[in-house]
Structures are given as C-alpha cells and as structure tokens.
Amino acid sequence: MEPYNQKITIKSWAEEDRPREKLLSQGRRSLTDAELIAILIGSGSRDETAVELSKRILHSLDNDLDKLGRLSVSELSKFKGIGEAKAITIIAALELGRRRRDSDKPKNPAITCSKDIFNLLHRQFRDLNHEEFWILLLNRANIVISQHLISKGGQAGTIADPKIIYKTALENNAASIILAHNHPSGNLKPSQADLNLTRKLREGGGLLDITVLDHLIFTDSAYLSFADEGII
C-alpha cells in the first residue's frame, strides 16, 4: 500500500479521470477549463499534476479565461511549472479560439451606427496591454472596404501619422474613414491629443474629399464614439 502522503500523478488516476482519456471517452465538452489547459501544457512537475497547475493558474485569475487571454508569455512564465514553450502553447490555443469565434462574421459589412464599428473592431483591441490605432475604409455606400493597423505604441499612447492614414485611404479608393484606437487603462475619456488628431484628420479629409465619419475609443468591453457624443 502506498504511503498516504505520496504524490499521486495523473498516470495513477482512474483512466476516466485523466484529461486526455476523458476527452476521448466523454467528449471535449465534458472537460473543465483546468483539464483543457492541462492537455495543452502536457505535464506538471514533481510537486503537482498538470491539472493542479492549471487550477492554480486559473484560481489566481479568478477563473476568468479572458484574464488568461490577456497574459503575455513572460507573465505566464512566472507561474512555477510554466516555461516559455508551455506559455506559448496556451496563448496560441486561446488565440485560435478567438479567431474561430470571429470567423463567421461578415467580411464586408455596412456601417450604420457606432455599434457596427464596435462589433467589427473590438476583437482587434481585446486583451491588449498597449495602444493600437486602426482605420476602417468605406465606400460611398458605407460598406467596409478594408481595415488597417496604422500604429502600435505603449500603454500611454501611440502616434498615428495622418500622411500614412490618407495614403492608405487613397490607395484603396476610400470615400470615408472611421478612426479607432484603444485605451488599455480602461478610461474612455478622449485626451486632448485624441481631439487634436481627429480635428486635423477631418480638416485634411475635407481637402481630399474623404470624410472622417467617426472616431471610437475602445476598452476591453466598452467604447466611446465621437459621433455619438457630438464631438466630431
């Protein structure tokens, strides 16, 4: 008989309780979040099983997969038992899930209100801990032609060059533009720099006959529309 305090590995579990075997016998929906993550990381350590390690990670994040999805490789690697390779595997799997969720959305939707913009772009800004500036290019029927990442910055801001924005718009024969960037801080209030840039782009668009329809500021779950607020 094994000593009571001896560590029990996953291989010692009943077959139906092992994550891989459980998935094969009962289907993927039968697994808990921790068990799915345990399959991704493959193995635990001498001190804990892969499932226990996964539970510890989730517990530290209030069992919130969205919080897990926002962690970087270096942040995940701070958990004992998670090296760079395991961290990359977890992040890649979560990104695939996010892309699958978004893949059935229409490719060229018409924009009728700020909510349409949010629905189209929020996945670009979700889970970011730095600022990014994107534009939507529309034709004269307000149907999206394309979307473009203009710049990336740090947590405090990013620089969007009007010359690059209008070069992109002209190359794609856009009739109008929608501006969008995120605030990782969660603060939706536009800065003076945001207001100045929007004004400058509207003035430049007037000369080129390209209308700036709106400018949205994103957080993970909310947005502010300059058009809705009457500041554009």
| Tokens coding 28 | 């993927």
**Does residue 5 carry a pLDDT above 60?**
no
**Does residue 105 carry a pLDDT above 80?**
no
pLDDT, residue 123, reads 87
**Residue 28: band (very low, low, confident or very high) from pLDDT cuts 50, 70, 90:** confident
User: Is the CB of residue 185 less than 8 Å from the CB of residue 74?
Assistant: no
| Tokens coding 79 | 């958990």
pLDDT, residue 27, reads 87
As a whole number, mean pLDDT of residues 26-41 equals: 91
Among the residue ranges 98-102, 165-169, 193-197, the one predicted with the least confidence is 98-102
As a whole number, mean pLDDT of residues 8-29 equals: 71
Is the CATH code 3.40.50.10310 the one for domain 114-229? no
Give the whole-angstrom CA distance, residue 178 versus residue 9.
54
**Residue 4: band (very low, low, confident or very high) from pLDDT cuts 50, 70, 90:** very low
- Over the stretch 167-195, which tens digit does the pLDDT of each residue have? 999 999 999 999 999 999 999 999 999 99
**Residue 100: band (very low, low, confident or very high) from pLDDT cuts 50, 70, 90:** confident
Give the whole-angstrom CA distance, residue 191 versus residue 232.
14
Which stretches does DSSP call E strand in the chain? 132-138, 144-152, 176-182, 211-218, 223-225
Sequence-distant (6+) residues with CB within 8 A of 181 are 131, 132, 133, 134, 158, 160, 194, 216, 217, 218
**Residue 83: band (very low, low, confident or very high) from pLDDT cuts 50, 70, 90:** very high
Nearest alpha carbon to residue 73 among 95, 90, 59, 96: 90
Sequence-distant (6+) residues with CB within 8 A of 36 are 19, 28
As a whole number, mean pLDDT of residues 125-136 equals: 92
The rounded mean pLDDT for the chain is: 89
